[in-house]
Amino acid sequence: LAGYGWAKARYLKIKFGIAAYRRYSSSTGYPNVSLSAPLPGIPKPVFASVDGHEKYETKITTLENGLKVASQNKFGQFCTVGILINSGSRHEAKYPSGIAHFLEKLAFSSTAQYGSKDEILLTLEKHGGICDCQASRDTTMYAVSAEVKGLDTVVSLLSDAVLQPRLLDEEIEMTRTAVRFELEDLNMRPDPEPLLTEMIHAAAFRGNTVGLPRFCPAENLEKIDRDLLTTYLRSYYCPERMVLAGVGIEHEQLVACARKYLLGMTPVWGAGTPEKVDRSVAQYTGGIVKTEKDMSDVSLGPTPIPELTHIMIGLESCSFLEDDFIPFAVLNMMMGGGGSFSAGGPGKGMFTRLYLNVLNRHHWMYNATSYHHSYEDSGLLCIHASADPRQVREMVEIITREFIQMSSVMELERAKTQLKSMLMMNLESRPVIFEDVGRQVLATGQRKLPHELCQLISSVTAADVKRVTSRMLRSKPAVAALGDLSELPSYEHIQAALSSKDGRLPRTYRLFR
């Protein structure tokens, strides 16, 4: 056996050299090189360095027709390019609600240049590309991710999709079916968060701007036709309300494509002065929107989901253009929260206030999460909570107490670090950078870079958090409630709790339970 081992070692030494023969890395027959020292005989590496132009990395050009072109170069084979339009459900005050929802579903259908959606997808496939359209309350975004060498085709396709859609009757009918299905799905899905978000906006901004429905109401499905869509497009799809944003391409190249395909292009609805443009400013009203609903059988699979009642309570925050936007973002991160089933760890927000004060103390609560929605003229900070219908009153009181105690600054540094970490992690992704560039340039005409935002986050003090909390508590609450609401306190009681020192609901006495 010993002879066999020696023969094997000799074979390895001849076949693969001394490194394969050596039994341990500390063997004396081979030089030990520290991992922190450069390898001998290897040329010295030359690393890329920041040349001081980092602050100019997002370049912006405004074309003669008012359209802005914004880009940021990012090394890689692929780019993300898209057109963002200052158009969404908040602009539908003079129209039946649901137009933006229809346009989102109609995006990348047949155009003047392409006979069908399949033709568009085949064209993109040649450049390894995908396309998507998303409509929010204030912005509609048409985006394409593809190889950099296909930029000319991509911008040509985007221009065609946005300015030259055919809007055929059969496409509108298919969209109507798709929207109807989405509305049914919205009411059936176990996660009620999209429905509650819709309800809280309707309660907070009753009948105006961001309070208008983001999803097409069922009664408007038959009202939306080609003429109505064309009238809306003529008002809102104009160059001065658009930004062509790109990430991963040279700015000059993007500007050249914009001049070629977006300058002097006459849209299918014809050139003319926009009419019926809604310029109204968001008016925060506060209020309550309630939907009684049987939530006892929402499970889609064999595992049953317990019957829950969902409550969302919100207060007015601020616009993303205000200085207080950053302290509000830190406050939202400090509140944090999540579901009781979340696999934990510090990075998952287990040290945020809604985990420590609510989910860890009250085992019967299934969810407590903070959300911050911010727009160009107002905002809304809200807490979503869910529990068994019999414990709704207690749950509401726990949430109102958390609102009152927000001004006590706990874990401020952790919240600031977590917010900066989340910001930087998200901005590693090319599509996220694209959306950030596009939205900032559309709203402000410029872009704050990540390191500037990190400096603003670092400069938030305990006094800032207390100030924005007291500002927020002066507004009337907005309340959204979904499920079995037999134990829900009255709106006046919730308002009284948020005006009190301890956040407790007024006591109620019943002769019969």
pLDDT tens per residue across span 440-477 = 999 999 999 999 999 999 999 999 999 999 999 999 99
In a domain, 11, yes or no: no
Rounded mean pLDDT, 372-398: 96
Rounded mean pLDDT, 213-228: 96
To 5 degrees, how large is the angle CA 271–CA 277–CA 279? Answer: 145
258 and 381 assigned to the same domain: no
By the 10 Å C-beta count (0-12 exposed, 13-18 middle, 19+ buried), 9 is classed as middle
Token pair belonging to 369: 């999460």
C-alpha distances (whole Å) from 268 to each of 111, 144, 167, 205 are 9, 22, 10, 34
In a domain, 180, yes or no: yes
Average the pLDDT over each of 21-30, 34-43, 357-366, 383-392 and give the range with the smallest value: 21-30
In a domain, 160, yes or no: yes
120 and 202 assigned to the same domain: yes
321 and 184 assigned to the same domain: no
445 and 327 assigned to the same domain: yes
More confident residue, 185 or 295: 185
258 and 316 assigned to the same domain: no
In a domain, 165, yes or no: yes
224: domain CATH number is 3.30.830.10
157 and 198 assigned to the same domain: yes
The pTM assigned to this predicted structure is 0.87
Is the pLDDT at 418 greater than 50, yes or no? yes
255 and 354 assigned to the same domain: no
Domain of residue 186 covers: 59-263
pLDDT tens per residue across span 104-121 = 999 999 999 999 999 999
In a domain, 212, yes or no: yes
Share of the chain above pLDDT 70, in %: 88
362 and 449 assigned to the same domain: yes
Is the pLDDT at 282 greater than 70, yes or no? yes
pLDDT tens per residue across span 311-320 = 999 999 999 9
In a domain, 325, yes or no: yes
pLDDT tens per residue across span 146-203 = 999 999 999 999 999 999 999 999 999 999 999 999 999 998 888 899 999 999 999 9
244 and 294 assigned to the same domain: no
431 and 490 assigned to the same domain: yes
Helix (H), strand (E) at residue 117: helix 117-125
The per-residue pLDDT for 327 is: 97
228 and 310 assigned to the same domain: no
Please check whether residue 354 is in contact with residue 348, taking contact to mean a CB–CB distance below 8 angstroms.
no
Nearest to 477 by CA among 461, 455, 499: 499
473 and 398 assigned to the same domain: yes
* Number of domains composing the chain: 2
In a domain, 2, yes or no: no
In a domain, 21, yes or no: no
